[in-house]
Structure 1
């Protein structure tokens, strides 16, 4: 086995969410390991706070409720969210998330977005050479 081979390891204990001040809002943990193929966040919303309606055009997202209750808003209506509920948010779907009276904490996981690169856009003009 190589010294540089990746090894599984514990990253975060969602039970630590009970230590978060109730007014904490946003990502309380992010996957930041180098070489990863995924992005993941644990997000906490205080009571009745909301993530406004938005559309993720490029990425499918899995959302797992780890604490609290709330509501997922979709174009077709509302979906209750509670601890243990696993939701697939397909790319192109429109959604909002609203925390219930006790707040809401959830894990999101999706494919890692590629980093910004300097260079020509694939659909832009192609450089030419003498061999073209």
Structure 2
């Protein structure tokens, strides 16, 4: 007999931000219910940090800013981000994020990632995970800033393959 996924309130943003140290960036919360069709994450970018430009060839991403401010660069245009902004990033869109001096907290939501597939280098051009969870350290939850990093520069833990 399969269990139904949890329904209702799964997280309270104010509590997440209060419980986590202010100098901790990365994923503060992840949707993890079994059998889900959706992935969602609450991400904190520390002041002055950035998510480097990348393209997701498979998934549209909805991004909603919960706090702080920054800049969204999408397909060459730059747009300011502040609390309450909602952005749609269609698959194939080159995107980057920059956190201002207050940092940036946002939630992403997208269809659950399909199984891994082998692609040519041309197909995978910048094809990083929509929320960059493949770069989040399992030891300290800090996102790696270097593309292709194998170990966390903060705590030395091996990053997910």
- C-alpha distance in 2, partners of 1:37/1:62? 15
- C-alpha distance in 1, partners of 2:71/2:11? 25
Consecutive unaligned residues in structure 2, runs of 5 or more? 118-161
The worse-fitting range, judged by mean Cα deviation, of 71-80 and 91-100 is: 71-80
- C-alpha distance in 1, partners of 2:82/2:18? 16
- C-alpha distance in 2, partners of 1:23/1:64? 21
Distance change (3 Å), C-alpha of 1:43 and 1:56: same
Aligned residues: 115
Return the offset for 1:7: 5.6
Pair 1:101 & 2:62 matched: no
Consecutive aligned runs of 4 or more in structure 1 exceeding 4 Å deviation: 4-7
Q: TM-score, normalised by structure 2?
A: 0.66
Q: Which structure exhibits the higher relative contact order, with contacts defined as CA atoms closer than 8 Å and separated by 6 or more residues?
A: 1
CA RMSD of aligned residues (A): 1.9
Larger radius of gyration, structure 1 or 2?
1
- C-alpha distance in 2, partners of 1:5/1:18? 30
Which residue does the alignment assign to 2:89? 89
Consecutive unaligned residues in structure 1, runs of 5 or more? 118-132
Return the offset for 1:15: 1.1
Higher strand share: 1
- C-alpha distance in 2, partners of 1:7/1:41? 16
